Amino acid sequence: MPIKNSAKKYVRVTTRKTLKNKKIRGVYRGAIKKTREAIIAKKAKLAEELLKKTLKALDKATQKKVLKKNTAARYKSRLNKAVKELSRKK
């Protein structure tokens, strides 16, 4: 346990930020998971709708500095590629 007041405050701040970041991380990870499941199930329409929500969640996570810009770009690119490939096959 911290002894100094500034260290105690830092623990409180860290706890608060961790909870916020976990919530944001859960949103974008869940969105990615649902999109991937739709792609595997070969549901093109659903995958396209979920992709839009996923891109929004990734952008928000990047904006709030939970996710790095290039990491989000990589996720977006790969998901976009998979959805386009799926819709092209139909």
For residue 77, the enclosing domain spans 5-89
CATH number for 75: 1.20.58.110
pLDDT at residue 12, as a whole number: 97
pLDDT at residue 90, as a whole number: 64
pLDDT tens digits in sequence order for the chain, 90 residues long: 899 999 999 999 999 999 999 999 999 999 999 999 999 999 999 999 999 999 999 999 999 999 999 999 999 999 999 999 999 986
pTM of the model: 0.89
Helical segments of 1-90, H only: 5-40, 44-63, 69-89
Structural domains of the chain, count: 1
What is the number of other CB atoms lying within 10 angstroms of the CB of residue 27? 18
